[in-house]
Structure 1
Amino acid sequence: MLLFVVAYWGQKQTNNKWLKHPWVYSLSLGVSCTSWAFYGTVGQAATTGAWLAPVYIGSILCFVLAWPMLLRILRISKQQNLTSIADFIACRYDRSPLIAATVTLVALLGTIPYIALQLRAISTSFDLVTGSYQSGISTTFVVTIVLIIFSILFGARQVVINKQNQGLVLAIAFSSVVKLFALTAVGIFATFFVFDGVSDLLIQTENIKPSAPSSNGTYFAISQAILGMITIFILPQQYHIIMIENHHEKELKTARWLYPLYLILINLFVLPIALAGQSLFPGGSVNADTYVITIPLFFQQAWLGGLVFIGGLAAATSMVIIATVVLSTMVTTEIINPLLLRHKSFMVQQKNQLSGLLLNLRRIAIALLLLLAFIFERAIAEQNHLAGIGLLSFVLLAQLAPLVIGALYWRNATSKAALTGLVVGSIIWLYTLLLPSLFPQSTWLTTGLFGFSWLKPYALFGVTFLDDISHGLLFSLLANTCCFIGISFFGRRSVGEKLQAELFINKQQKNLEHELSHKDLYQLLQRFVNNEAANTFKQYYPETRKHSAANDKLYNYTRLQLASVLGSASTRMVMKAASKQQTMPLEDVVNIVDEANELFQFNRELLQAGVENIEQGISMVDVDMRLVAWNQRYIELLDYPSELVAVGKPIAELIQFNVERGLIADSKESETQETLIARRLAYMRQGNNHYFQRNMPSGIVLEIRGQAMPGGGFVSTFSDITAHINAEKALKKANESLEQRVIERTTELSQAKAEAEAANTSKTKFLAAASHDLMQPFNAMSLFTNMLNKKVQNTDLQELATNIQNSLTAAESLLSDLVEISRLDNSSQTLDVQIFSINDLLSTLGKEFTLLAQQSEVKFSYIKSSCAVATDQRLLRRVIQNFLSNAINYCPQANRQGKVLLGVRHQQENIIIEVWDNGPGIPLNKQAAIFKEFERLNPNQAASGLGLGLAISERIAKLLGLTITVQSTLGKGTCFSISLPRSHVMPENTIAASIIPQPSTTDEFINLAVLLVDNEPLMLTAMATQLAEWGCQVMAVKDQASLNAAIIKQNFTPAMIISDYHLDDNKNGVTLVQTSREKYAWQAPVIICSADPSEQVREKTSAAKFSFMRKPIKALALKKLMRQLLSATLD
């Protein structure tokens, strides 16, 4: 539980740098010090009398002497993004799935006994501490279930298999510290408290002799040392910790000395504990593997016994967790996943479903692994020594060593040899070590297999001087290595094996793109692909740089083009040979040709399959007018005999066959068959495309299209269009019957439309005439009433006269609106389209409605705009007047001051004139009705008007081709707007006004002619004003069109040009200035201004030899730059 807490805490500390400290990484390698290191090494020391176990001597030698090999494995694993030892070996040997699965099985068989050792160690120590020993089966089973739970919690919570787990590494490093502390505490207690120091211990145990036979002790020690050296990089859990959990190479450099030091320290008191146990428990009354925990319990040191139990538990638990997690990953990725990928139902699952499935499979694999380890532990329950179980596992895992070493240092190693050697070595391990352990009482162990004494598992070929482990290690590795070397030596490597060998063996891989020049890649494309691809490639680099190194983009382009012709493996060899400027070996050339031939054949078959499965018939004729390709549909449609069509068949014979059948009937009078055939062949040789339809004797109609090919020859398609022709005839017949009815209905509709139009015209004329006639007396009455109103001032009749005048004004306004609607409906309005500044219209309306707004106690404001438009100014003014009148009339509210805003919004190439108010708003269901005649939102409201203004505005907008929109929110206000296109040509009065006269000044820029270009009106005005204050004669324009117009109007030669970079319509100031200088022969210095921070603007400005100034512009900086440029010009 403590380890889980540590791991969980470490996983959450994502930004804690010390968790990635090299010391944490080095201590995590202590996962190799399992319960065997905690208990078994003491038992082995009691048997052999060795202070440092030979296994650890081998591990120390591997880190000290073979460290470069470990570093190479690390680099390859990181470069290839490998996930396990199985992935590493399979990657080297042509990425063989069979090798990956076999390595996984070997790792599984080799690690299960090692896990079983941990289960036994935990259960034995637990029974000793608690005194509840009952054959061990119940304790071991409970331990197995607990470890299944902890392993799943530790390592099966995420799908990513090669993601680093810093929490798990921290937990293992912590367990390594606990193991060292516990074993050291027991050693100090046994040496200095049970005995009186080291000398007293040696004196009292001087008569105790090691129980191992002296005849084979040396061989046994050497074998263990070899196993210790090999398993450092072979054990799945060791590979995972060293390679996958590594963050940087400096961590491995630290582990080079810290890990051997840790092994020495943890074994420091192993021999004293063993000697103390032998002295305290003579005659083998206590299993030597349990001395570590028995000594504290014998002297009733419960706390120390508990500490030892925790240390042993940490040693076993950390190994079991990391081993089961790694093995479950290998089993799922190398065995289960390839099997699942063969089923379509697995491929169509959703991503989240696949993630959950794969994660559950790993969890199941963890449970099964630990259950298998439990079964194995029960099967060898009679064996008492933990060391024997651990070494048994090591020998099987050592079978992977020839494959790994060969992968790193031997180019000629093949996947077939690796697989064979691994299988043979594993079989011999099974025969010499595993089966004798599982069936120790079998008679064939003493008599030999089939009664042959030279096949005894422990004495193959009569070798009897070796111990069991050394014997099994010798013969299994010998057979493995011999098969590996022999088959590789006499075998032949595939292209994939050669490529992977280069990745593993070359210490410093260089990117081929950095060794190939533009010319090299161009020549490869020209040689292997075609001139078109080569010429396309040539466009991407200047001729002057053809010998320089090509970049990644061009290299990848070449690689893809070559792969489409040669295949990926051949492309790699070709580019490798080109990069080294060497001739390719014959076998590589043969491989390239073979693969290219296979690729060609595949493409041909693919093309043929596609051609055979289309509806049209296809035939291809070469430049010699011979048939080279066709499909079955071609034969069926033209009804050719099967023996007539063949590759190389002259097309003349097919034409002759069709002429004889009467299918070709376009011959001229007195033209012979030979002349007809010759004429058609000449037509095809000329490359003339053709299209015609042919009626076949079978009743079908063929559409025949012929297309000349670029290199000569002809391709023709034959389509059955019988159904189309029949449908066309039926449609034509139906059209003939419908035509008369359509004419009749059209006549009726035309007559009805003419009558409706006549009625509407009559109505409109009558309304216009009546309104005009009524207007005359109303005008007279208005004049009389006005005179009457003046005469009765200050009398009782004044109010009556005023009411009469107001009524007449309303009636006159109504008649005017009716006349306006009539004129608009009659389409008799003549448009007077002119280009004018929108600001002129806005300012006039602003002055007009400011007084009206004050009388209504409404706050009115408008925003100026320098845009120009081309439309009828009078009609547009009428529309905006109606908007403003409605806004001011309906705006006042009882609880807040009314506000009306007139302004212009820019939208790409359009401008939108908007009138905003904060009135009561318009309901959505009435926003369309307000544009009808005499329609008012609230007839009872005391607002003037009869509901004709918006109806007139809509008709004017329709006449002008514009659009009116309304936006409104109840209780907040309304916005009426009209959108119209912006004119890029300024009116003449605006251009003239842009020439800003300079005030009198004494500055050095007096009368300096400056051309100012900027598309932002405010910026243009501000800059022009500033320059004018300095005494400059300024011409301010917004674009090329306005500049040309201004130059035409007056002769202006600038002595200085200042332009913004980004202008309207995706134009830029650099191009505008270059064009103008060339057109008008100007020599003035140029300043380009921009707020764009990109380097592209500066580079383009610099390329044009212009000066650059970044916005916002400071006056002093601008003056300084202008002074410098003028001085340089004078110089």
Structure 2
Amino acid sequence: MTDALINPADPPDRQREKLLQIVEVLMRRVEQATDDDGRAYRQFQRAAMLEDEVRERTRDLERALGLLNQTNARLAEATAEAEAARQNLASAIETVQEGFALFDAEDQLVMCNARFGLQLPDIRDRLRPGLPFADYVDMVSASSHLALPPTETPRGWAVARMRRHADRHVIFNVRLSDDRWIQVSEHRTQDGGTVILQTDVTDIIRLERQERGKLLDDQARMIRATLDHISQGVGIFDAAARLIGWNRRLATLLTVPAGRFRLGVSFDTLAEALGRQFALNRGMTLDTIAAWVRGPRPRPALDFELSRGSDLVLAVFAEEMPDGGFVMSFSDITAERRALLAIAEANETLERRVADRTAELAEALGRAEQANAARARFVAAASHDLLQPLSAAKLFVASLADAGLSTEARATLGKAQNALSSVEGILDALLDISKLESGRASVDVVPVAVGPILDQLADEFAPLAAAKGLRLDVRSSGATVASDPTYLRRILQNLIGNAVRYTDRGRVLVGARRIGAGLRIEVIDTGPGIPEAEQANVFREFHRLNARASASEGMGLGLAIVERAAALLGHPIGLSSVPGRGTRFSVTLPLLAPDRTAPAELQPTTAEITLGPEGRIVCLVENDPDMRRALSHLLEKWRLEVIDVASGEEALALLDEIGIVPDRFLIDHELGAGMDGLALLTQLRDRHGAVAARLLTASRAPALAAACAAADVAVLRKPVDAGALAGFLLG
């Protein structure tokens, strides 16, 4: 009931007054009422309790009122402090020497000092708190004290000012009437408001203008002094083609009276004077120059020449300036033109002499090329003609190896074999030199295992070294290099052969060592050595330092082949020697990983040849009777059945007649008239499928090698090696 009668929103005094009235009413009712059941006492008791509650609530209200009074006191104190701070801030910004204004995040003016807008008195009274920034800008743009450029409107200025207001920080200058300037510095605050500072910079700008004027005057004097001291004549014209600057050299070069050079004279007057004295070169005319001067901008640079007989030639260059004017320079190039004329005359004379000499050299070169081609053809033809009977002779000798000869006959047979081998070596050397000199040699650089090549060469030269009482020490290597295996073997064969041939006692050491990313193979002997003066000559053809060696031991071509083959492969050759103590030759090769290639297969020697299986049929196609007879004789000794024919047509006809496909084919490439060996092998494959065949040829032509490689045809070169032949036929 008390809660319903007492309104908490009433002031404490009002609530206390209501409670006292309630207590008084209740007490009066207790005193008046009589109740036998004791209800009056209970009502009195409730009234007493209610009075206690009222007292407690009154005390709470009094405490709350005390706290409220304290809070109101502190609030009043804080309000006073804030007002004092505001007054201090206002006083502080009033002491600032610049105009100051603060706009809040809603772009409304919060406060400004008296200097803000001081230069614009017609808007000063309207700068009050709450003014929108856009309205402030419109007021400034319409102010009569704002000096706008002739091409800008108040509205355009206001739009540009609002665009700058979008930046967080901006500084710019504003020109006012009476040549006054203010600098506006605008910065964004953390809460999104804007602080604007206005600084009067009139004195600074006027001072800068004065200094700039002095600087321009100084620059003008410097430019004038510079123009008067250069060798070119210079004329400067404004956008209306009027003369505004020149130097003394211009009047001297053009021989124009001083009265013609005056400030503001038209270019047409100068052009008229030029037309009377000078001739224009390079197809230029006065009308063309006038069209350039009056033409639309931008104008490209213009250059032409003026000449006055042969006494004076001027190079003229005109270029546009940023303000629409142009600069024209005149350079005296008379000496250069005379020098060019003299050079042209000298060039004509020199060209005639060069042409005559070139014709002579071309004729001599043609004769040399013809002679070289004739020599190459002769070497190739002679080598082929010699290799054919040589191959037959070697095969005949090889067939006598197991003929039960006497000791004396065997010795004679060995000498014959050595003689034939020497002839073969000389012919191979001649062919190599011919190819290397003619540029027809081709190389196939592949991974090559060095060990098998060194092992083969050790076996090859061991008997020769032992016969001379020399110790030949060839240390094998497991390295793999990038090279052409044929030419690499030939290089090492010639180096080791020379060392053994020219060393009388001691030893020959062959070994390989790693040098960075390469492998250097060295051949060291204890021979007579090579004098330093002769070291460059040992690589010449047919040059032998010790002439005691017979022709059977070499013709001085080995090192020539080494040098040319190494140059073709890009393998550096090294030579060091001490006369009387020995010589060291070396060749450096690019080193590869050891597993890049498999060891080369060794061909069996004649002594290692085992007899083949009986009944194996070999078809031999060879047009040379002696060669055919020698091959047949050797193959029959190896228990092979031989079908020998002289031409490809005969071979095809015979195979069609007997109806048997031989186990092996040996086909000479040069079969005379009719089809050649490669064509025959192609027809055999077309008729009988893949057949085991070898092409016999003495030719080293790159074209033939390429054709065989393209057709997947293996080749045995003449003179035919019995070991290689046995490896194919008996394998």
TM-score range, shorter chain: 0.3 to 0.5
If each structure's helix is expressed as a fraction of its own residues, which one has the higher value?
A: 1
Scaled by the length of structure 2, the TM-score of the pair is 0.43
Between structure 1 and structure 2, the one with the greater Rg is 2
Larger RCO (CA within 8 A; separation ≥ 6):
1
If each structure's strand is expressed as a fraction of its own residues, which one has the higher value?
A: 2
Scaled by the length of structure 1, the TM-score of the pair is 0.29
